[in-house]
Amino acid sequence: MKKVIKKHPLAIRWFHWINFPVIAIMVWSGMLIYWANDVYRLGWGDKTVLKFFPTSFYKALHIPFRLAEGMSIHFVFMWLFAINGFIYVLYLIFSSEWRFIFPNKKSLKESFLVVLHNLHLRKSIPPQKKYNAAQRIAYTIIIIMGMGSVLTGLSIYKPIQFHTLCSLLGGYEWARAEHFIFTILFTLFFVVHIIQVILAGWNNFRSMVTGLDVFPATNEILLEPVLINKVTQTGQIEVPGKNNFEPVISNKEGIGNDLILKEEETPSDGDKTNELSDINDTITKDENTPTQSGEKSN
């Protein structure tokens, strides 16, 4: 038997995988449009650090002279982007999922600890539910960025019809610049997201397709020695199911580290065990041991 959690509801998986190609198409067609008036750069005064975009970049991606094509694609797929995003936000609100995503009071402080952990400067991360604090903040900001892209996009698409919105955003040219900045941020998010997904490993990626977060497989095997140990120590067979020797599973973001801490074991100085004990205290307190009983009955 395998212990799993239904991590991602089907709806969220659909929203996610629809969004991926749609954003890619929007960014790409957006670049075809941007090329026709590519005025943005990073720099000060006459000094340009980075031009958006260098000629070689345009050439490599075959961007030049495709404004009409870019517009025709952008103003069709904008509907998919906006509708998919809109339904996603509605879904978050009307399901309980928003609780896992929107930051809470502790998120800001904890997100620094997560970042330190990711940079290998800190051994443990604070206890988390579906997402850690940094993920909560990132996934909430991406929603705000999506809304920002729609609003700045609308105000440069129809600046007279949405004149109030356009002037709230600082006018036509500012709105265009903001729309561009959101696009850059989306691509940066994409790069970081991909790196994090690779680092998080297969179980995490699989959960975005199947929805299921699978507990580490080594779980049941490692249980056996604990049981045997118990029996020999006390001289009688205890009925499993009480909390006297529950397995502890660390599964930060479903990475699948199969860390098992036996109750008798004193945490060693090894960093993995330390990390585990931090999580252990908070995560497993109210956990019964369905795994054990389940396995016994099989």
The binding site for other proteins (CB under 8 A) comprises 1-7, 17, 21, 33-34, 36-37, 39, 67-69, 71-73, 75-76, 79, 100, 129-130, 158-163, 167, 172-173, 176, 206, 209-215, 249, 251, 283-284, 286-287, 290-291, 294
> In this complex, which beta carbon is closest to other proteins, that of residue 80 or of residue 89?
80
CB 255 to other proteins: min, Å: 11
Residue whose pair of structure tokens reads 């016994």 in the numeric block: 296
> In this complex, which beta carbon is closest to other proteins, that of residue 220 or of residue 226?
220
CB 267 to other proteins: min, Å: 19
Q: What span, in angstroms and rounded, lies between the C-alpha atoms of 227 and 87?
A: 49
Give the angle 30-21-7 at the CA atoms, nearest 5°: 135
Q: How far is CA 268 from CA 222, 262, 271, 272, 282, in A?
A: 18, 12, 8, 9, 19
> In this complex, which beta carbon is closest to other proteins, that of residue 111 or of residue 291?
291
CB 142 to other proteins: min, Å: 20
> In this complex, which beta carbon is closest to other proteins, that of residue 1 or of residue 228?
1
CB 233 to other proteins: min, Å: 28
Alpha helices in 158-249 (DSSP H): 163-168, 172-200, 202-210, 219-234
Give the angle 175-177-181 at the CA atoms, nearest 5°: 115
CB 190 to other proteins: min, Å: 17
Q: How far is CA 82 from CA 19, 25, 106, in A?
A: 10, 13, 31
CB 119 to other proteins: min, Å: 23
CB 221 to other proteins: min, Å: 13
Backbone angles phi, psi at 170, to 5 degrees: 100, 10
> In this complex, which beta carbon is closest to other proteins, that of residue 104 or of residue 233?
104
Structure tokens at 18: 């629809």
> In this complex, which beta carbon is closest to other proteins, that of residue 229 or of residue 258?
258
Q: What span, in angstroms and rounded, lies between the C-alpha atoms of 134 and 131?
A: 8
How long is the chain? Answer: 298
> In this complex, which beta carbon is closest to other proteins, that of residue 36 or of residue 147?
36
Compute how many other C-beta atoms are within 10 angstroms of the C-beta atom of residue 267: 14
Asked if residues 36 and 249 have their Cβ atoms less than 8 Å apart, the reply is no
CB 136 to other proteins: min, Å: 12
Asked if residues 15 and 88 have their Cβ atoms less than 8 Å apart, the reply is yes
Give the contacts of 62 (CB within 8 A, at least 6 positions apart). none
